[in-house]
Structure 1
Amino acid sequence: MEPRHVASQPKPLCALVVDDEAPARRRICDLLARDDDVASVLRAENGVAAIDMIQRSRPDIVFLDVQMPGVDGFGVVEAIGPENMPLTVFVTAYDHFAIRAFEVEAIDYLLKPFSGRRYEQTMERVKERLADPRPTEGDSAGGFGPELLELVAKRATPGAIWDWIAVKSRDTTRLLMSEDIDWIEAAGVYVTVHSKGDAFLYRAGLAAVANRLDPFRFVRIHRSHIVNVRSIASLERRSHGEFEVMLKTGTRLMMSRTYRGEVEAILGQPL
């Protein structure tokens, strides 16, 4: 009888999660815990601890927060050396770190808040690379997700994605930083931009404005409303699948069922 061929089992993975914020660490650890291919999950609260764990434990993959007090994510890479780093996924809320992530050859880059599906895409990429570490034609730009590649391409074109909105009033042009915008409301051929308790009229339709805003920071919750995710304080369930969105300013807005999926995607969890 010929010996039966047994398919080799993939090596159990060891992952390291580095983030100074406990909720962020816990979310990634919870996602990794559901993966049968991940045997152990290590945790580090800062860059110094991460350097020690990488040198001692040699994890297969590290989810590395960029912004941390003291030694940040890039400081960890510099201390270990890019050539000695495990497969690295940078995790941060700020997309302008993307270019540096390319430079240190990270395999992927997760922008907070990321969806469960986006995390799964990252792990698929990680496992493919571990199974066959040879670079492939599709591995250019470090194997980053298509949405980040598109975002970086837009960043290379001045004004394609707004870091600010230029609001004109008579003879004055005022620059509103996009991070300071709480929400935007449709007003016919205009929109009303709400920022720090003030309201400004801007001549453009809501759809046109939405196309220029950072999709990782702003989400449409209604045909008439776009909100900055960082301005949301809570979401309260109402009837017929709708939610009321409470902003940190105290403003209450309705989220329609039509846009619920978009909100769940940017939050990374169902409502």
Structure 2
Amino acid sequence: MTIRSVIAIDDEGPALRRLCKMVGDHPELQLAASAKNSVVAIREIEKHNPDLLLLDIQLKEATAFDILSSVKKTYTGRIIFITAYDQYAVKAFEYEALDYLLKPYTKERFESAIARTTAKTESVDIHTVIRLLTSQKNVGPPMLMIPEGTKNYFIGKNELQYIYSEGYYANFILQKDKKLIRISLKKLEGLLPSSFIRINKSTIINQLHIRELANNRSSIKIMMSDGSDFRVSDTYLNSLQTFLKRNSDGGE
């Protein structure tokens, strides 16, 4: 019996404690560390280089993509993803023979995922995993699934014009409707496909609904299809320029 070192990563305290207990109760696993955010996660992965990551796909301030991109030169172990709502990514993981736990998962489902992972003779290359996560983020389905607590809202990707923050909430402005959902723009950046770009502290726009872009000496102003206009802040200027260049080149 091989003892496999594990790092558990989940930004929800109760979920992380439950996950750590399952690891502790499993005869073939040894918990090397746990983390509730990407900074700690990256530090612990580089420190321990565990055999297995139990990795939540979407943390409050980062995504699995962010974490794996930071450790891709050093981490060579296996990964079991944890997700609460991204069924499209789950389907892709199934296709690529990656393992996942869909919340709320049972102890039996946890043990099944561990058994499948430990039985494999080869690890999935981490660069392949990153490409998979990127493709899911950038392409995605025509409907966006936005989580709020125990609920999920389904919003047409092409119908959504822009999003702006209002306190702890985000206003989703659609062509014929609007929705107010309790979610941060930081978390939305990890969920939205590549046609969406953040342009300032409080606004994310959909490129499909840009009507006009005015490039002045001191600032850039974007007008949307409904007549609303937003200024691009210096913080997000480089990201916007890269975004516009990529789309003017027809993508990569």
Q: Please give the TM-score of this superposition, normalised by the length of structure 2.
A: 0.45
Larger Rg: 1
- TM-score (normalizing by structure 1): 0.42
